[in-house]
């Protein structure tokens, strides 16, 4: 793009870039969510704080998430466009963008939790084999949601990288 020369590094956090990276449970939910009746129900239910909160705690983030972080995530969920979110997910489930990573000459840093429920960590760890400029850092004991301790651990990794 027009600013490509100004970009000196790329940071990816729990990236979804290919079908094999997305966990089976998320792929199943996406396929179910495409059904017309389910699609409408989920589109409305995600705006209900109690329903969305319970879903996120059980299926995505777990119950030990930092309260402030969870609040930000819920606000983002309510403000996001459901159709655009589904379009992005379905695009990732139907296309493999791994090749793009090998086209970058700048350093690419990937941070990922080892217990994420949305992406397959083993696949993401293989990114360092795809591009010689890729460094993958794993947050041990972390899921998709963040506790205070995991936020501090991530901040340490970021300070080491940058």
At 15-66, the pLDDT tens digits run: 899 999 999 988 988 888 888 888 888 888 887 878 877 777 777 777 777 7
What is the phi/psi pair of residue 13, to 5°? -115, 115
What integer is the mean pLDDT of 6-11? Answer: 87
Residue 94 pLDDT > 90: yes
Please answer whether residues 109 and 128 qualify as being in contact, where contact means their C-beta atoms are separated by less than 8 angstroms.
no
Burial class (CB in 10 A: 0-12, 13-18, 19+), 76: exposed
Integer Cα distance of 137 and 73 in angstroms: 23
In whole angstroms, give the CA distance from residue 40 to residue 54: 19
- The pTM is what? 0.77
> Which residue has 């402030």 as its token pair?
68
Q: Output the six-digit token pair for 79.
A: 């403000």
d(CA 130, CA 126): 7
* The token pair that represents 23 in the structure block: 């966990």
């Amino acid at each position: 793009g027009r600013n490509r020369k100004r970009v000196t590094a790329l940071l990816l956090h729990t990236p979804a870039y290919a079908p094999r990276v997305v966990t089976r449970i998320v792929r199943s939910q996406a396929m179910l969510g495409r059904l017309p009746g389910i699609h409408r129900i989920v589109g409305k239910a995600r705006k209900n704080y109690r329903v969305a909160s319970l879903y996120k705690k059980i299926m995505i983030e777990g119950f030990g998430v930092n309260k402030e972080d969870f609040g930000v995530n819920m606000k983002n969920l309510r403000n996001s466009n459901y159709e655009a979110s589904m379009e992005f997910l379905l695009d990732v489930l139907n296309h493999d963008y791994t090749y793009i990573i090998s086209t970058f000459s700048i350093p690419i840093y990937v941070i990922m939790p080892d217990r994420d429920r949305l992406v397959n960590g083993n696949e993401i760890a293989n990114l360092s084999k795809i591009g010689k400029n890729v460094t993958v850092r794993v947050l041990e004991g972390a899921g998709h949601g963040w506790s205070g301790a995991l936020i501090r651990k991530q901040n340490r990794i970021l300070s080491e990288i940058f």
